[in-house]
Structure 1
Amino acid sequence: MKDWYDRQIAPHPGPLTGRQQLVRKVVRRVHWARTEGFGRIVEEDRLDPRPRVRAAWRKARWRRAHPQAPGSAVPVYVVGLQRSGTNMLMRGLDEAPETEVRNENDGALFDRFRIRSTDVLRDVVLRSRQQVVFVKPICDSHLVDTFLDLPGLAPGRALWVYRDVDARARSEVSKFGPANLWALRDIAAGLADQRWQGERLAPATVELIRSFDLEAMSEHSAAALFWVVRNGLYFELGLDARDDVALVSYDAFAADPPAQMRRLCAFVGLPYRPELDEHVDRRVSHGSGRLDLDPRVRALADDMAARLDSAWRASSAGEAAEPAHGLTEGTA
């Protein structure tokens, strides 16, 4: 069954037709319902309309009480890596009446999970009558510095969300199978410019990917290596040196939701309310232990986790983390 599923979602040469995109979407949803349960799909995709209707009513009431000047909405970009807890974050932030939430399934702003254009992005933010517009361009995380520097918008913020590598790799493989492995193989084959996963990678990072035997690599090791590469962009792009970008640790959030949501609200300028995090179960999110990864990948992942955790602690304390550039073995 898994082999059949992998064949249905394998990379396709050239653009997909509308019918092909629909078939892939249906195949994914059926697979996720079988492997993770229909209730999980309803929760993640927010298919129950009742919470959304209640949130829309609260936001409309807030707009009537707090009319906003055109162009005053603050954009906040939620970025990082898939399966890192961004859905959990966006669900909570949508409970605030001051906010407008634009997820990657929003057809007005996204096309196949990527921002349609910076002009469309600018227009969406300028038309908002909420105080803060949260946008989740996960597939465009490597462009977040350009989004922050867009002219004509109120000064924005960005939240780079990261999660324990083992928990994220398990979740990624469970939901998307060998997708990260396929992406790494394409990057190694010189097709980086044809995949969003390969855009803006440092040459040293591409060479690091090529140094692995990707034909023999396991799906979990590939997911972990992709985690290293993608989170490495936080340092390569100099985001760690910007005061308008904050790291968010999913694991710290899951362990103490109120404390972390208070920190997040203070950063973006929202009042804290308990309903913003009451949907989060207080837990250690990666309690299943460490995966059996390729030893080199494990070393890179441990090093990257240490860098991220150090930067998170520094930013939590209001300190600036030391910027780093490039991604090479032993310093990744």
Structure 2
Amino acid sequence: MGRRATAYYLGRLELEFWLRLKWLVQHAWHGPRRRGPAAVSFIAGVQRSGTNMLMDVLEQSLLTDVYHERDPRAFDNYSMRETDIIAALHARCRAPHFIIKSLCELQRLPQLRQRFPGTRIVWIVRHYDDVVNSMLVSFRNHASQIRRLAQDKLAVDWRGEGMSDATQALLRRFAGPELSDASGAALMWYLRNVLFFEQGFDRDEKVLLVSYERLVAMPQAEFARIFAFLGLPYRPWHSRRVVASSVGKRQPPAIEPAVRAECDALLARFHALLPAAPGEAA
């Protein structure tokens, strides 16, 4: 077994031990109880944008009850279960913070917030090149999905739910027979991420935008910002395993220039909302 594989398995064993210890501590805790129900936070973004890493770090806190998309209590085939089921899990939560992933449900976040007043959202955005490269490793049907969505918003399960007429019109511009899977995946990145602006999250003080690239390059500063936003104490220990090796790991995919231009424009809108990084002009 190579060094990287050994480090990976040791890390998983450490995480498994920590989660068991955390469960015991939370269920044996007899100290002061929280006032009122647990605070609810949704971790949002497009698939392959780093939400797993973010959830893993948040799970390191003793003050969180974290529900990944692989958790059958809260998800079925990566989609969130009925809201009543999530509400029941929330009601049984023993931690002060109830944190659940929301990827297939980006378009449902406004409705979910109505059910859980005071909800906070952390939306992570990653450069589309790395997202597309990651998507193409596992799936080769993005072009066909875009062609179908260009004709019918509900043709491909949750992917087109909440899609605006303007976004569908953009898909129609590119949905010809020559559309490649790389360009199709980039358009999928676009149509899911543009919901951030279409739902007014850029003007919402209870929504925090996070750059994946900044998160892995400056984990202590960025995770301190996230934890503070959620009302959690942060220690560098929480993010000790975060590394930046996944950024620009592969060559940029062969995305059609016009599609790339649309993605660049959307990415620029995101970057304009981020706080100035150390060394940048405000």
Tell me the TM-score range normalised by the shorter chain. 0.7 to 0.9
**In structure 1, what is the equivalent of residue 64 of structure 2?**
99
How many angstroms does 1:106 deviate by?
1.2
Q: CA deviation at 1:292?
A: 2.8
1:184–1:222 Cα contact (<8 Å) kept: yes
Does residue 1:111 correspond to 2:76, yes or no? yes
* Residue 287 of structure 1: how far off its partner (Å): 5.1
Are 1:297 and 2:259 an aligned pair?
yes
Q: TM-score, normalised by structure 1?
A: 0.75
Rounded to whole Å, the distance in 1 between the matches of 2:226 and 2:61 is 13
- Superposed, which structure 2 residues align to 1:1-332 within 5 Å? 39=5, 48=12, 50-62=14-26, 64-69=29-34, 72-150=37-115, 153=116, 155-175=118-138, 177-190=139-152, 192=154, 195-283=157-245, 285-286=247-248, 288-313=250-275
Cα distance change on mapping 1:102 and 1:243 into 2, 3 Å: same
For 1:81, the aligned partner's letter is V
Deviation at 1:124, TM superposition (A): 1.0
Q: Distance in 1 between matches of 2:91 and 2:78?
A: 21
Tell me how far apart the structure 2 counterparts of residues 66 and 211 of structure 1 sit (CA, whole Å): 60
Q: Aligned in 2, Cα 1:56/1:148: closer, same or farther, shift over 3 Å?
A: farther
Cα drift, residue 285 of structure 1: 1.1
Once the two structures are TM-superposed, the CA of residue 295 in structure 1 deviates from its matched residue by 1.4
User: Which blocks of at least 5 consecutive residues in structure 2 are unaligned?
Assistant: none
Residue by residue over 1:16-75, the C-alpha shift from the partner in whole angstroms, topping out at 9 and shown as x without a partner, is xxxxxxxxxxxxxxxxxxxxxx959x77xx994552232231343245054535852111
> Number of matched residues?
273
Give the partner amino acid of 2:19: A
Q: TM-score, length-normalised on structure 2?
A: 0.88
Query: Matches of 1:277 and 1:130 in 2, distance apart?
Result: 20
Task: Report the Cα offset of residue 213 of structure 1.
Answer: 3.4
Pick closer, same or farther for the CA change 1:188–1:61 going to 2, 3 Å: same
Q: Distance in 2 between matches of 1:237 and 1:182?
A: 26
C-alpha distance 66-139 of structure 1, shift in aligned 2 (>3 A):
farther
Amino acid at match of 2:145: A
Give 1:214 deviation, angstroms: 4.0
SS in 1 for 2:124: strand
Please provide the CA RMSD for this pair.
Answer: 2.6
| Matches of 1:120 and 1:272, distance apart in 2 | 30
Deviation at 1:126, TM superposition (A): 1.5
Moved more, 209-218 or 128-137: 209-218
CA change 1:179–1:145 in 2 (3 A) is farther
How high is the sequence identity, in percent, across the aligned residues?
Answer: 30
User: 5+ residue gaps in structure 1?
Assistant: 1-37, 318-332
C-alpha distance in 2 between matches for 1:121 and 1:72: 13
